[in-house]
Chains A and B, each alone.
Chain A
Amino acid sequence: MVAENLEVAYGAGASRTPALRGVSTTLKPGTFTLVMGPSGSGKTSLLTILGALAPPDGGRVLVDGTDITAMSERARTEFRRKKIGFIFQSFRLMTGLTAEENVRMSLSMRGFSDDARLAREALDAVGLSQKRRLKSNELSGGEKQRVAIARALAHKPPIIFADEPTASLDSVNGARVSELLSNALSEKDRLLLVVTHDDRLLKAANRVIRIEDGRIIEDILR
């Protein structure tokens, strides 16, 4: 994944505020990249553009040579469905569904016919096979995030994006999530990018990008 000279700004006229100012980077498969920086530095804007959730104001993002920023909204939606797994800070599970149903919905939406089996395997991988029939409001914060990870990984996407995945968790659950994210790299050629403030994730990452005022100020390979 190659990001070239990304520009994003919010607002209009005099109140227009730049969020990304010419960000360029290359993300290689098999790497666990952390994007760190203070609030308002542009981390989430970068994740939004790389995740094909919105087009940038300038620059482009190439994935396997295809410019995803030039895609139509429909094509970007399909790209996300096929290529990306998202993990969110606030879990974002479907409240009316059980843990298993949450994972199954993600799979069936993507056309997997054996969604029940794959969902059970994914939940087993995050240690939640015993709680698969519980509704999301019956799960703890750590368990919810593990369901969210199972949901993001179940369809085996080549790209995983996580937004502050440990921010709402205590140290034990944070460590567990960190471990699960590291395990996610066991899939060959998978790209994992995590936006975080949490230094606990540094141990697992093999690359750290620091952003400030919409610019990359540090890019360390570990």
Chain B
Amino acid sequence: MRVRYAFRNLLIARGRFIIALFGISLAAFLMAMQGSLLYGFTLASSVLVDSIDADIWIVPRGSAALEYATHFDERAAWLAHGVPGVAATGRGLTGQIQVQKQNGDRFAVFVVGIDRDFRGRTPDARANLKPPATFINVAAVNDTDLPALGIQSLPATVEVAGLRVDITMLTSGFASFLGSPMLFSDFAFARRVLAGNKPVSNFVLAKVAPGYSVTAVRDALRERFSKNDVLTKAEFSFRCRHYWLAQTGVGGALLLATLLGFLIGVSVVAQTIYSQTSERVEEYATLKAMGASNWYVISIVLYQALFCGAVGVVAGLGFAELFVNMAKGTIGWIQFPGWLKGMVVAAVALLCVVAAFVGSRPATAVEPARVFRA
């Protein structure tokens, strides 16, 4: 019966109900959007490290992230191969360079070149070619980056450092958060345009032989390459994420915005529930005089808040889904997974509980003896 009473109380004060719904919808929307940005950014900040098929990374000492790894002698790859437990080694080069679009405009891209056996989930444009196609330099780009490159259909040609490159393959899941589309080519092409064909790379990759511990091989490589950072895939992935999220302040800003969404929701809903409860304080006094415990009274207010929360979160998540889909055109790395929706629902439930405890204050504080004041 208290559920029915709580629901009727909401319907009696429809204006306040709508305000509470608006507050919760806004809070759910903000939390979902900021959460989507945060999660997408987290994945995007280490997407290359997570996608490349290597157990161990050797990078120049102090490389904060893959994007900031400087060049070093590629002989490290051959030297690493001699360390016990290393099954295979490879090289990789990444870096920004300007491309000339078909219309003549210049635009920065992030060239990625990795030895073929280590490409993992990154695209391999040359392997994707179907005979009788004959292109000299081929590359793949993320599907969301086509407009930025001024490309309408494939194959399309761009000019990189005076070389013609044919974009022959589209991929997905590699939208760049730096604003420079990733251009996946082969290692030789990357070395040519990024290092002038010098024998350098900016990361060396190693696969561990079966039966060997990754950490043990990493430690052995650390001894061999004392002037470099030798990290497992998980360690380097964490380092990249930590840099982009914590050291640049992006993660803090997104987290703060998520928290603000939560606080906006709490304040709007608590204020609304507080007003609703204050208006019905005589009824709560009557219930308490009749023997209702404070918990019984709080539970009525909690039901009201949860009703508002249930409707508000559906609306908020619906809007967020719509906006995330719309935003994918410009923010290709935004992600809105199911578990994040679950977290928003849990956060809204928490928000409602907090708001109910704040908003039920007039009802719990009222003296039951006031029932005899006419």
Q: What residues make up the interface of A, taking CB atoms closer than 8 Å to B?
A: 44, 47-48, 51, 53-54, 74, 77-82, 84, 86, 88-90, 92, 94-97, 101, 104-106, 108-110, 115, 163-164
Contacts and interface: CB of A to CB of B under 8 A. Distances in A.
B1 A115 contact: yes
A80 B11 contact: no
B371 A88 contact: yes
A104 B12 CA distance: 20
Contact of A108 (B2, B8, B286, B288): B2
A95 B2 contact: no
Given A53-B369, A95-B12, A96-B11, A105 B291 contact: no
A109 to B, nearest CB: 6
B289 A80 contact: yes
A79 B367 CA distance: 16
A77 B293 contact: yes
Contact of A110 (B12, B282, B291, B367): B291
A44 B372 contact: yes
B367 A54 contact: yes
B8 A96 contact: yes
A115 B374 CA distance: 29
Given A54-B369, A105-B5, A94 B289 contact: no
A108 to B, nearest CB: 4
B283 interface: yes
Q: Is the interface of B mostly helix, strand, loop or mixed?
A: helix
A81 B291 contact: yes
Interface in B284-308: 286-293, 296
Contacts of B296: 109
Nearest to B291: A81
Given A108-B2, A109-B296, A163 B289 contact: no
Given A74-B293, A77-B293, A88-B372, 13 more contacts: A53-B289, A53-B369, A77-B292, A78-B293, A80-B289, A86-B371, A88-B286, A90-B374, A94-B5, A101-B4, A105-B1, A109-B292, A163-B371
Given A77-B293, A95-B283, A109-B291, A53 B371 contact: yes
Nearest to A168: B374
Contacts of A82: 291
B291 A84 contact: yes
B8 A97 contact: yes
Contacts of B287: 109
Contacts of B374: 89-90, 164
6 contacts: A53-B371, A80-B290, A86-B371, A88-B286, A96-B5, A110-B291
B137 interface: no
A69 to B, nearest CB: 14
B51 interface: no
A44 B374 CA distance: 11
B9 interface: yes
B92 interface: no
Interface string B1-34: 1101100110110000000000000000000000
Interface in B323-374: 367-369, 371-372, 374
Given A88-B372, A94-B283, A106 B290 contact: yes
Nearest to B288: A77
Contacts of B8: 96-97
